[in-house]
Structure 1
Amino acid sequence: MKPSADTKSRILEKSIELFNRFGFVSIRLQHIADEVGISVGNLAYHFKNKDAIFEAIYEEIEENQKILLADLKIVPLFINIDKHIRDTYAIQQKFSFFYSDTFEILRNFPLIKKKYREYTRWYIQQIENMISFNVARGTFTVESHEKLHLQLAEQYWMTMEFWLYQRRIRTFEEINIEDYVLALWALLLPHFTHIGNLEYKQMHYNENFNWL
């Protein structure tokens, strides 16, 4: 890696760490420069301001999420859905400042807010496709009312996107991945067919005995 690219990566890495620890609003360029071990002038050579740093971080968040969805889109079996949930949790932990204060951050970045809205529509469509795939293979029930699966996809996205935020608002001290996973599966469970229930139970049976 070139020295310039390495410095840029360290700036982003330290910025994420500081934003996660102290909040996006509280951090100034000087804090980031001190953490990286460079001058503010050197930092400004790579990113002219804090907004530019956040824009680069947001691009990374969106790109990571798209990669996970691309993997899920190939074959969204239950085991793949479960992996997607767990991998999404890992991303949210890495960029917790964004998922803890999404609304306030986006309010200050109109262009990213527009991108986020477009991305959200696409994301929900991918979840709806995941549901349709599982209806076709007999693990999900056929929707009993018009747009029921669209509503399910939207609820699933909202839970996935804002679970971390609501847990912290409610002052839960422990953020647990298993609680996150269960919160999302709880939305899907009522829509399982008999075959779906069997596959879900088998998936957890295999997880419990994967140490053998």
Structure 2
Amino acid sequence: MLSTKQRILNASVKLFNEYGVDAVRLQQIAEEIGISVGNLAYHYKSKDAIIESVYEQVIDEFSHIFRQYLQSPDLADFDQQLSLYYQFFQANQFYLAEFFKASTTPGDHTVAWQQAVNKMLLQLRSWLLFHQQREVLKPEPAPGFYDQLAQSLWMSLVFSPIFSTMRGLPSTETSYKQAVWSHIRPYFTEQGLAEYQADVVPLLSY
């Protein structure tokens, strides 16, 4: 069973996603998990303390995704990482809004997120280089091209669900992953395309 502190954090994330961080009150969080405000205050003395713990949890979850990088060298491994990114951004939709709101006065969590974003970009660029060396991806058509592709992949990973919501379209894990792979497919070699068809396409058909 989850601890009361974890239940508080989970309820807070749910309510932050629904109403925004500023609109949620301690009473709502307590009611969400069926405890008194006094019991909640025993674990977290203020809403700011809850927010800080939620932010720490978000960064920890994001760091966990980084640790899945290249656990195996095939394309299916990256597809699994895409699933983790989808689940993360779906579960923490409020965080992007909070980041942009706080970007003018960055705090510790903002700096931590900026570091995570830069690490994500480096990891994507490293992934492209790795698969170019495997001859799964074609050589760069121009210097710095894969740096730009890494940025496009990052934009798709972070903002695809938001873009779908803005258009009134459903956002599913499959459509999310297809959007990311569509950036990569044109640069597969014949070997890479064969691996993609064999190992990734079946995972996109469920």
TM-score category of the 2 structures, normalised to the smaller one: 0.7 to 0.9
TM-score by length of structure 1 reads 0.85
The amino acid of 1:201's aligned partner reads Q
Task: Tell me the SS of whatever aligns to 2:69.
Answer: helix
Deviation at 1:197, TM superposition (A): 0.7
User: How many residues are treated as equivalent by the alignment?
Assistant: 206
Could you say if the C-alpha distance between residues 96 and 76 of structure 1 is closer, same or farther in structure 2, counting changes exceeding 3 Å?
A: farther
Percent of pairs with identical residues: 30
Q: 2:184 — aligned with what?
A: 188
Q: Which residue does the alignment assign to 1:133?
A: 130
Confirm whether residue 197 of structure 1 aligns to residue 189 of structure 2.
Answer: no
Measure how far apart 1:108 and its partner are: 6.9
**CA spacing shift, 1:155–1:76, aligned 2, 3 Å:** farther
Task: Note the alpha carbon deviations across 1:111-146, whole angstroms, 9 max, x for none.
Answer: 211111111111111111111110111101111212
Aligned AA (2:185)? L
Structure 2, unaligned runs of 5 or more? none
What is the rounded CA distance, in whole Å, between the counterparts of 1:170 and 1:209 in structure 2?
23
Contact 1:98 1:105 in 2 (8 A): no
Q: TM-score, normalised by structure 2?
A: 0.87
CA distance in 2 between counterparts of 1:99 and 1:164 reads 12
- The alpha-carbon distance between structure 1 residues 182 and 142, as it changes in their structure 2 partners (threshold 3 A), is same
Conserved? CA contact 1:14–1:35, under 8 Å:
yes
Residue number in structure 1 paired with 2:18: 21
Q: Pairwise mapping of residues 37-186 of structure 1 onto structure 2 (< 5 A)?
A: 37-99=34-96, 102-104=99-101, 110-172=107-169, 174-186=170-182
Q: How big is the alpha-carbon RMSD for the aligned residues of Structure 1 and Structure 2? A: 2.4
